[in-house]
């Protein structure tokens, strides 16, 4: 075992221990009530896991994205739902690379100490959908502030976050040289903004994801909260998006491993026709197939994470990691449900909950078709289809 693998294993063990203090009934109850798992997020924060990417000089652990992947994978592998907090890790992709020293000094120590939460990433809009360059939320400079107007949708955890990374248009699309130019990223202090131009409305969904619609009505954001240069926000967000895809890939690998372990255990124990159901090839082969898919996806997540850590281009690998892992977790979930027969549908087995939760990752943060479009155009040099 290399030193790196040893360190990652230590992280996995520690996170698994913490997760074990939150029994499955906790996740069933929060899911049933669509309640934010605040206690779990607090425990992870206090143990320092949610700030593992923040450099040591700002109070974090200064680890790379592979460590963050190990944390999130382990959370999912324990049967928990890390969606409540994963954004605090992937927003770092933009913050660490593009915020200035003053912004880092102002926010990072408080995020590392658990005094501030940066859990909201406001990109998607109802009319733009996947076509991010069509966003209509505008930020217009007036003196030392920007005035923001517009709407975001699917802004997850907005009610449970102090800060949001927001993408808005600072130059109209038709006046920008390229359609991806003219967008800017801001750090929005949401607690200060609530009732002063910011309104949050929760959306109830098939999973417990604390997702919302967010409305901006002449919200004033100080100019010092602009990240990097005005108009270059799309590029900054891409760094966050690659990090997000890698981290969500790791979460899906964790989900797949949970489903595979759960199905294998059940197939060994459940006896029908006088023998364990797992003795039938019709039951064991789908488990073995799901295992192969999960392990292959894990390799792609690892490769993407290594490239990201080395500061090298990793768009194709990040996208492939996310998609392969999301497909592997869905395959494993479907197999796990089938292995459990009727009991797979019962809440107390957690299979139906995990299956609902892992389904999201074929749609968000980017849907499967768009990953294929990206690979076709940028890797395979095929004509752009959209
Ligand atoms: C629970 C949840 C949480 C989310 N959290 C966040 C968040 O925190 N922050 C945030 O900014 N966003 C968030 N999202 C938004 C998510 O990233 C988007 O839903 C996703 O990117 C897809 O966009 P859309 O829903 O507008 O689908 P659309 O863009 O409307 O696409 C609809 C369908 O058409 C397909 N499609 C569209 N164009 C093409 C094409 N050219 N070729 C082939 N197929 C195409 C897509 O693949 C998709 O299947 C979240 C979404 C959900 C459901």
Residue 6's pLDDT is 80
Residue 5's pLDDT is 79
**Average pLDDT estimate for 73-87:** 95
Judged against a pLDDT cut of 90, whether residue 380 lies above it is answered with yes
The number of the ligand 1 atom at minimal distance from the alpha carbon of 87 is: 8
Q: What is the distance between the alpha carbons of residues 343 and 315, in angstroms, rounded to a whole number? A: 40
- Classify 106 as helix, strand or coil: helix
Residue 59's pLDDT is 96
Residue 39's pLDDT is 97
**pLDDT tens digits for range 164-208:** 999 999 999 999 999 999 999 999 999 999 999 999 999 999 999
| H/E segment holding residue 320 | helix 315-340
- Mean per-residue pLDDT of the chain: 96
Q: What is the distance between the alpha carbons of residues 341 and 287, in angstroms, rounded to a whole number? A: 14
**Average pLDDT estimate for 334-350:** 98
Rounded distance from Cα 239 to ligand 1 centre (Å) = 18
Rounded distance from Cα 128 to ligand 1 centre (Å) = 9
Nearest residue (CA) to ligand 1, atom 9:
155
pLDDT tier, 34 (very low <50, low <70, confident <90, very high otherwise): very high
Rounded distance from Cα 152 to ligand 1 centre (Å) = 12
Residue to substitute in 125, 137, 361, 363 for testing ligand 1 pocket (most ligand atoms within 8 angstroms of CB): 363
Q: Find the residues whose C-beta lies inside 6 A of ligand 1.
A: 121-124, 129-130, 154-156, 205, 209, 211, 360, 363-367, 369-370, 373, 386
Percent of the chain surpassing pLDDT 70: 100
Q: What percent of the residues of the chain are helix, what percent strand, and what percent coil, each to the nearest 5?
A: 60, 15, 25
Percent of the chain surpassing pLDDT 90: 96
Q: Are 373 and 385 in contact (CB under 8 A)?
A: yes
Judged against a pLDDT cut of 90, whether residue 93 lies above it is answered with no
- Classify 209 as helix, strand or coil: coil
Residue 78's pLDDT is 98
Nearest residue (CA) to ligand 1, atom 14:
154
Judged against a pLDDT cut of 80, whether residue 263 lies above it is answered with yes
**Average pLDDT estimate for 284-312:** 97
Judged against a pLDDT cut of 90, whether residue 377 lies above it is answered with yes
Residue 2's pLDDT is 81
């Amino acid at each position: 075992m290399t030193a790196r693998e040893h360190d990652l294993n230590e992280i996995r063990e520690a996170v698994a221990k913490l997760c074990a203090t939150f029994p499955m009934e906790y996740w069933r109850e929060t899911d049933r009530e669509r309640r934010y798992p605040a206690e779990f997020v607090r425990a992870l924060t206090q143990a320092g896991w949610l700030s593992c990417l923040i450099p040591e000089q700002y109070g974090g652990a200064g680890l790379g994205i592979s460590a963050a992947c190990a944390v999130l994978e382990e959370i999912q592998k324990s049967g928990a739902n890390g969606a409540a907090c994963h954004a605090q890790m992937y927003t770092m992709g933009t913050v660490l690379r593009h915020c200035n020293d003053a912004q880092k000094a102002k926010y990072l120590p408080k995020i590392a100490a658990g005094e501030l939460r940066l859990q909201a990433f406001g990109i998607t809009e109802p009319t733009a959908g996947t076509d991010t360059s069509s966003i209509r939320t505008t930020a217009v400079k007036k003196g030392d502030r920007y005035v923001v107007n517009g709407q975001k949708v699917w802004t997850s955890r907005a009610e449970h976050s102090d800060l949001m990374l927001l993408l808005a248009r600072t130059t109209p699309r038709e006046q920008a040289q390229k359609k991806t130019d003219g967008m800017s990223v801001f750090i929005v202090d949401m607690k200060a903004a609530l009732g002063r131009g910011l309104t949050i409305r929760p959306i109830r969904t098939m999973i417990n994801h604390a997702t919302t619609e967010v409305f901006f009505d002449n919200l004033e954001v100080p100019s010092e909260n602009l990240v990097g240069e005005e108009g270059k926000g799309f590029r900054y967000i891409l760094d966050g998006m690659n990090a997000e895809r890698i981290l969500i890939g790791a979460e899906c690998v964790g989900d797949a491993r949970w489903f595979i372990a759960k199905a294998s255990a059940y197939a060994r124990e459940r006896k029908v026709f006088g023998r364990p159901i797992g003795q039938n090839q019709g039951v064991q082969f789908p488990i073995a197939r799901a295992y192969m898919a999960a392990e292959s996806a894990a390799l792609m997540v690892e490769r993407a994470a290594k490239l990201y850590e080395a500061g090298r281009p990793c768009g194709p690998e990040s996208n492939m990691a996310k998609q392969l892992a999301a497909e592997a977790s869905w395959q494993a979930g479907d197999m796990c449900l089938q292995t459990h027969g009727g009991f797979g549908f019962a809440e107390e087995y957690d299979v139906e909950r995990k299956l609902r939760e892992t389904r999201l990752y074929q749609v968000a943060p980017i849907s499967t078709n768009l990953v294929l479009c990206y690979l076709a155009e940028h890797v395979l040099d095929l004509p752009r289809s959209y």
